[in-house]
């Protein structure tokens, strides 16, 4: 099959070879209408610019750097996907440096690795303390750096979801359902987000005049959710609801409940956090706090590429929402199937006694 060339794109777009080259290289003095015609022709022909040839010609590829937590985890992988998609739309490549050790030294090494590749801006999606984030920002200066997993008080450019709002939504929902014995399954203590959610839960419960009946911490995995659920369900005060810091751990909680013969939500309500793509397919479907990870990734790219004042901090708080599904119910309530079954048992018992 004949390779598609710039001349083919120029012919389909009805422009010159030089105009196609200017569009590919993000040159100025190309009208929006012409740029759109060329981009449409490239899409129709499935043309992919030869970046190697561009580099040999001395033309540097525009690129963004992403320092990310483990991409095996749902949230980091979703954000990375959104970053790459939006960056590609804007004509940028994305270079990723993944760290599993969140110590400042490891994060510093990841940032230096990306800076050595001449990126034009950085997104850092790793849990960092305030001072560590500020030092990494100074290291990358004057490049723009945006942090996605720092506290709201950190004096760096940040774009984070509101943990207080998410915690309040989960607690309020369970209280509205009449639950009062609420256990908490937090994420790892090393995570800024996990600590913020746990603090938010405690605050929201205190506002209602109650305390958590039990608290445990997992490592974000379904396995840790399963193991910690057994511990929470064996506590002196039996919970009638559990707030879980992410959906994967909530999946483990549901498995533990099934093994112990605890009906969710008739005997125990479970609320997750994140709203992963699979949460609606858990058994039962999971009630959870939704964080729009794609929005975070896309807005992060737009901020880096857009015009902003380097002397002014940008601190954006993204809202979260509660998605109510089948894993929560009114405390002590029985499902329609349970009621029907009980009525049948009572009718059979009445017939046996000759009462009907």
Interval 109-118: pLDDT, tens: 999 999 988 8
Interval 328-348: pLDDT, tens: 999 876 544 554 555 576 566
Look at residues 156, 154, 128 and name the one whose alpha carbon lies nearest to residue 67: 128
Gap between the Cα atoms of 289 and 304, Å rounded: 27
Look-up of token digits 């605050």: 203
Q: Which two tokens stand for residue 86?
A: 């939006």
The pLDDT value recorded for residue 258 is 97
- 274 pLDDT exceeds 50? yes
The pLDDT value recorded for residue 343 is 59
The pLDDT value recorded for residue 96 is 95
- 278 pLDDT exceeds 70? yes
Gap between the Cα atoms of 8 and 96, Å rounded: 33
Question: Phi and psi of 207, rounded to 5°?
Answer: -60, -30
Q: Which two tokens stand for residue 148?
A: 């996605």
Tell me what the mean pLDDT of segment 293-314 comes to: 90
- Which one has a higher pLDDT value, 18 or 202? 202
> Any idea how long the chain is?
356
Residue 53 banded pLDDT, cuts 50, 70, 90: low
- 81 pLDDT exceeds 90? yes
- 281 pLDDT exceeds 50? yes
- Which one has a higher pLDDT value, 156 or 5? 156
- Which one has a higher pLDDT value, 35 or 229? 229
The pLDDT value recorded for residue 2 is 64
In three-state secondary structure terms, 224 is helix
Pairing state between β 321-323 and 287-290: antiparallel
Tell me what the mean pLDDT of segment 272-298 comes to: 96
Interval 117-169: pLDDT, tens: 889 999 999 999 999 999 999 999 999 999 999 988 899 999 999 999 999 99
Cα diameter, the chain: 96
User: DSSP for 172-183?
Assistant: HHHHHTT---EE
Tell me what the mean pLDDT of segment 85-93 comes to: 92
282-to-159, 236, 255, 326 alpha-carbon distances in Å: 30, 28, 10, 9
Question: Phi and psi of 241, rounded to 5°?
Answer: -160, 150
Say how many C-beta atoms besides its own lie within 10 A of residue 236's C-beta.
6
- 271 pLDDT exceeds 60? yes
The pLDDT value recorded for residue 131 is 95
pTM for the full model?
A: 0.74
The pLDDT value recorded for residue 349 is 56
> How much of the chain exceeds pLDDT 70, in percent?
88
The pLDDT value recorded for residue 350 is 63
Interval 165-204: pLDDT, tens: 999 999 999 999 999 999 999 999 888 889 999 999 999 9
User: DSSP for 91-104?
Assistant: T-EEEEEE-S--SH
The pLDDT value recorded for residue 72 is 85
Q: What are the residue ranges of helices labelled H in 208-324?
A: 222-233, 247-259, 293-305
Q: Which range among 132-136, 178-182, 269-273, 352-356 shows the weakest confidence by mean pLDDT? A: 352-356
Computed over its alpha carbons, how large is the radius of gyration of the chain?
A: 26
The pLDDT value recorded for residue 335 is 47
Q: Which range among 57-71, 94-108, 125-139, 146-160 shows the weakest confidence by mean pLDDT? A: 57-71
Beta strands in the chain (DSSP E): 63-68, 93-98, 122-125, 145-147, 158-161, 182-186, 214-217, 241-244, 269-274, 287-290, 315-318, 321-323
Mean pLDDT (the chain) is 88
């Amino acid at each position: 099959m004949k390779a598609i060339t710039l001349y083919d794109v120029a012919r389909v777009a009805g422009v010159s070879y030089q105009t196609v080259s200017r569009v590919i290289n993000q040159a100025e003095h190309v009208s929006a209408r012409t740029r759109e015609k060329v981009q449409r022709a490239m899409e129709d022909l499935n043309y992919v610019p030869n970046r190697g040839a561009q580099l040999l010609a001395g033309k540097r590829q525009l690129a963004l750097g992403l320092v990310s937590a483990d991409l095996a985890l749902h949230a980091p992988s979703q954000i990375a996907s959104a970053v790459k998609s939006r960056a590609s739309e804007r004509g940028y490549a994305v270079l990723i440096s993944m760290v599993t050790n969140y110590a400042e030294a490891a994060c510093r090494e990841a940032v230096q690795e990306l800076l050595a590749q001449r990126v034009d801006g950085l997104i850092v999606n790793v849990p960092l303390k305030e001072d560590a984030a500020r030092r990494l920002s100074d290291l990358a200066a004057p490049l723009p750096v945006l942090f996605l997993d720092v506290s709201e008080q950190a004096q760096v450019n940040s774009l984070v979801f509101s943990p207080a709002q998410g915690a309040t939504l989960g607690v309020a929902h369970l209280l509205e359902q009449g639950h009062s014995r609420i256990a908490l399954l937090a994420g790892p203590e090393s995570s800024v987000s996990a600590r913020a959610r746990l603090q938010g839960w405690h605050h929201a419960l205190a506002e209602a005049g109650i305390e958590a009946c039990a608290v445990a911490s997992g490592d974000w995995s379904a396995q840790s959710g399963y193991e910690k659920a057994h511990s929470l369900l064996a506590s002196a005060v039996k919970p009638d609801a559990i707030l879980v810091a992410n959906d994967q751990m909530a999946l483990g909680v549901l498995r533990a409940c099934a093994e112990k013969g605890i009906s969710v939500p008739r005997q125990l309500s479970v609320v997750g956090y994140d709203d992963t793509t699979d949460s609606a397919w858990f058994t039962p479907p999971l009630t959870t706090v939704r964080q729009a990870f794609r929005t975070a990734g896309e807005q992060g790219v737009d901020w880096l590429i857009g015009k902003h004042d380097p002397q002014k901090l940008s601190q954006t708080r993204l809202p979260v929402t509660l998605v109510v599904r089948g894993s929560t119910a009114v405390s002590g309530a029985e499902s329609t199937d349970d009621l029907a079954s009980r009525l049948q048992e009572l009718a059979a018992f009445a017939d046996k006694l000759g009462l009907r």
